[in-house]
Structure 1
């Protein structure tokens, strides 16, 4: 367990035992270390689909996470969020990666485990919707996610949508790998 010094809140950043295998796989796929125009467009589609001001395609590394795909609406609040690269203990994507399941947080402040995260006070994040990107080898590469600065009722529909988008993106990544994309 870690305490985030600036807020004094408990921050549980899960242990990521798959990080070494993921790092190798991301290198094989050429992902996770530079912006990707196609993934930026996919992030925009995610934001448009769920009507969120921010969305991303995030690849989790050992000590950092990298948004190879990133979108923020022109009218989104000027909070400095999102950034292409974040420490591993910022945000909620690392939690999705380790637990290997989608995560819906309608109001992050409702959960002690998540309320003290640096993106809450520092960037104004109030709600999160994310699903893992699990490749054909069973490795979770990262996430597809959407974020808002106000509490959101994502509901079962939002959960189903983000899972569908994640599956679609994994298929696209496999096409790239197979030389068809």
Structure 2
């Protein structure tokens, strides 16, 4: 008889299981998304940040192991300084157990967190301490096949009253980006 100690209630247990990840990764490969930065998606993220007045915006494609920000908007001056006096370094990838986009993908619907610290499930996420994230607004990118390709999101280092206007804005922007991706695919053009 073997003994398996109980697993701690760490972040791995808080990240939802994503049964569609292999099929999504295959669809993303066929579309040519999720492996390289896309200037058009960076421009989309810039516009989303401007529209919502958020310091950070992303177009995020998620596979079995990681998140990839094919579109990314960062502020000119980072608004968060860690306890050691340094600013965090945002890259183009994150593990699946970081952030809130994996929840949006599995839930298949938008997520509004005006203050992540109000939700114990989300307050313990590594991005809260590592990047100072305090608010999140994200929506899934659901294509014509019903596959959730990823998300678009905006985040801030301060609580934000996104409310219904924020929810409608992010959902509308997600629908617009999906329509744009599908038009390009239907025309036989590279997706972006």
Shorter-chain TM-score: which interval? over 0.9
Cα distance in 2 for residues equivalent to 1:2 and 1:27? 35
Q: Which residue matches 1:71?
A: 73
**Corresponding position: 1:87 with 2:87:** no
1:125·1:148 contact (CA, 8 Å) conserved in 2? Answer: yes
Among 114, 120, 123, which residue is 1:106 paired with?
114
3-state DSSP of counterpart to 1:168: helix
Structure 2 unaligned blocks of 5 or more: 1-6, 81-86
Cα distance in 2 for residues equivalent to 1:82 and 1:11? 24
Among 123, 144, 147, which residue is 1:136 paired with?
144
Q: Which residue matches 2:58?
A: 56
Equivalent pairs counted in the alignment come to: 177
Cα distance in 1 for residues equivalent to 2:107 and 2:8? 18
3-state DSSP of counterpart to 1:38: helix
TM-score, normalised to structure 2's length? 0.87
How far off is 1:10 after superposition?
8.2
Distance 1:129 1:62, change over 3 A: same
TM-score, normalised to structure 1's length? 0.93
Tell me the alpha carbon deviations over residues 26-78 of structure 1, each in whole angstroms, 9 at most, x when there is no partner. Answer: 01110001100000000011100000000000001101010000001213325
Structure 1 unaligned blocks of 5 or more: none
Q: Which residue matches 2:83?
A: none
3-state DSSP of counterpart to 2:64: coil
3-state DSSP of counterpart to 1:23: helix
Q: Which residue matches 2:39?
A: 37
Distance 1:26 1:2, change over 3 A: farther
Larger Rg: 2
Structure 1 vs Structure 2 CA RMSD:
1.7
2:12·2:97 contact (CA, 8 Å) conserved in 1? Answer: no
Cα distance in 1 for residues equivalent to 2:27 and 2:162? 31
3-state DSSP of counterpart to 2:94: strand
Cα distance in 2 for residues equivalent to 1:116 and 1:138? 31
**Corresponding position: 1:162 with 2:164:** no
Q: Which residue matches 1:25?
A: 27
How far off is 1:11 after superposition?
5.2
